[in-house]
Amino acid sequence: MIAAGTKAPDFSLPDQDGNEVALSDFAGRKLVLAFYPLDFSPICTDQLSLYQEVLDQIESQGASLVGVSVDSSYCHHAFRKQLNLTMPLLADFNPKGEVSRAYGAWIAEVDHANRSLVLIEDGEVKWSHASPTPLEIPGANLIFDALSA
């Protein structure tokens, strides 16, 4: 997992609507990247639904939250619609997992990202967390602790 104090790797990925979203789009704001394995899996559904419930609180602390997985923009679009999500979902699809790898959130054995959180501010990683297993959801409390630190 990428370490605090590291320059955040630059990225530009398509969102659920095919619009390119870059790290530079969040200049002047705190950004929480929420890496997760796959759209529509039961645990991912729970994870993103949980983050949606507290999204207003995250945003009230001057932060944006963005989901990242290896699914395509089309899959993200359907997943976002089904769950009524408002946070952007970025497609780390081609080349598969490039951004997840750059942030140390990749699990090669299963060919997708681990459940990981990264807080970026002013282009620098301020905090990161990787779940011990993809079966464990990083709670929203971790995001709030990182934002208030």
Active site residues: 44
Q: Give alpha helix (H) positions in the chain.
A: 42-53, 55-60, 73-83, 98-102, 140-148
- What the block records as the tokens of 114 is 């681990």
Residues in Cβ contact with 134 at an 8 Å cutoff, skipping those fewer than 6 apart = 37, 43, 107, 110, 112, 114, 115
Distances (CA, A) of 129 to 12, 34, 54, 136: 22, 10, 18, 12
Residues in Cβ contact with 44 at an 8 Å cutoff, skipping those fewer than 6 apart = 36, 37, 38, 69
